[in-house]
Amino acid sequence: MPPEPTVEAFRTDGYAVITALVPADRVARLRGHLAARAKAGLMRMGGDPQVPGTPTVYGDAEVDALMQDIQPQIEAHTGLKLYPTYSYARIYKKGDTLAPHRDRAACQISISLNLGQEPDAPWPLYIGDKDAPFAAILRPGDVLLYRGMDLTHWRDAYQGERLFQAFVHYVDADGPHAHEKFDGRASLGNAFKPETTGKLAQMHMPRLTDV
């Protein structure tokens, strides 16, 4: 989708699907990277109340790098100057659900990126009015661009075996949440707060607002 229609859809509805935003070769590299981390035991297996027992990682250097690289495209699709805040990734498993929720201030403008699933069957990501939601059907490389603070979003139980999903978050550089830049970290590419260097920060998981 070219930027102009997305800007209008994002302004009007607060969300838009952008197909093939991330090239297939990079999608494959990221999926392989996350699979290798999980196999090596280098992803967090507990502590994410949204999806218990599912491999997750906050501030992975490769996903943070993607967040930085696609920032100009996201600025074009939103019509806003942005600051990156943080990235997150999950490897969903069969039976996982995502309860209806809205996100915290660091997720003012969010991207949910499909990195592939087994089997290759889309898993709808619902957003908006619970009685008449929009179902985003994402293929590898596709993203849902949405206002995570403002719009309720969720998923029903996953019927596949596993699905790789990455999330990257931004804030409006000229808006009231600009202070959320880097999500309190010294820089992108690490999971540490500047005042706790050498100690894991208490922000490995997305914190949610009440729906």
| Residue 210: pLDDT band with limits 50, 70, 90 | very low
Asked if 160 contacts 118 with a C-beta cutoff of 8 angstroms, the reply is yes
Task: Give CA–CA dist 203/132, Å, rounded.
Answer: 33
What is the pLDDT at residue 93?
96
Q: Is the confidence at residue 27, as pLDDT, over 80?
A: yes
Give the pLDDT confidence score for residue 114 in this predicted structure: 98
Residue 205: band (very low, low, confident or very high) from pLDDT cuts 50, 70, 90: very low
Instruction: Tell me which amino acid residue 134 is.
Output: F
Domain carrying residue 155: 3-209
pLDDT (tens digit per residue) in 130-154: 899 999 999 999 999 999 999 999 9
Give the CATH number, domain containing residue 148: 2.60.120.620
Q: Let me know: does 100 contact 127? Beta carbons within 8 Å.
A: no
Q: What is the pTM of this model?
A: 0.88
Question: How far apart (Å, rounded) are the C-alpha atoms in residues 175 and 57?
Answer: 28
In the chain, % of residues over pLDDT 90 = 80
d(C-alpha 38, C-alpha 31), whole Å: 11
Question: Up-side HSE of residue 170: CA atoms within 13 Å toward CB?
Answer: 26
- How large a percentage of the chain has pLDDT more than 70? 89
Mean pLDDT, all residues of the chain: 90
Position 1 scores a pLDDT of: 58
Residue 155 dihedral angles phi and psi, to the nearest 5°: -140, 145
Whether 123 has a pLDDT exceeding 60, the answer reads: yes
Strands 153-155 and 98-103 come out as antiparallel
User: By mean pLDDT, which of 40-49, 60-69, 137-146, 200-209 is the weakest?
Assistant: 200-209
Per-residue pLDDT reduced to its tens digit, 168-202: 999 999 999 999 999 988 888 776 654 433 333 34
Q: Are 201 and 186 in contact (CB under 8 A)?
A: no
Q: Tell me, what's the pLDDT at 116?
A: 98
**Total count of domains within the chain:** 1
pLDDT reading at 35 higher than 80: yes
> What pLDDT is recorded for position 5?
82
Q: Categorize the per-residue pLDDT at 45 as very low, low, confident or very high, splitting at 50, 70 and 90.
A: confident
What is the predicted pLDDT for the residue at 71? 98
Q: Where are the alpha helices (DSSP H) in the chain?
A: 3-13, 24-39, 61-69, 71-78
Nearest to 108 by CA among 83, 72, 76, 79: 83
The pLDDT of residue 66: 97
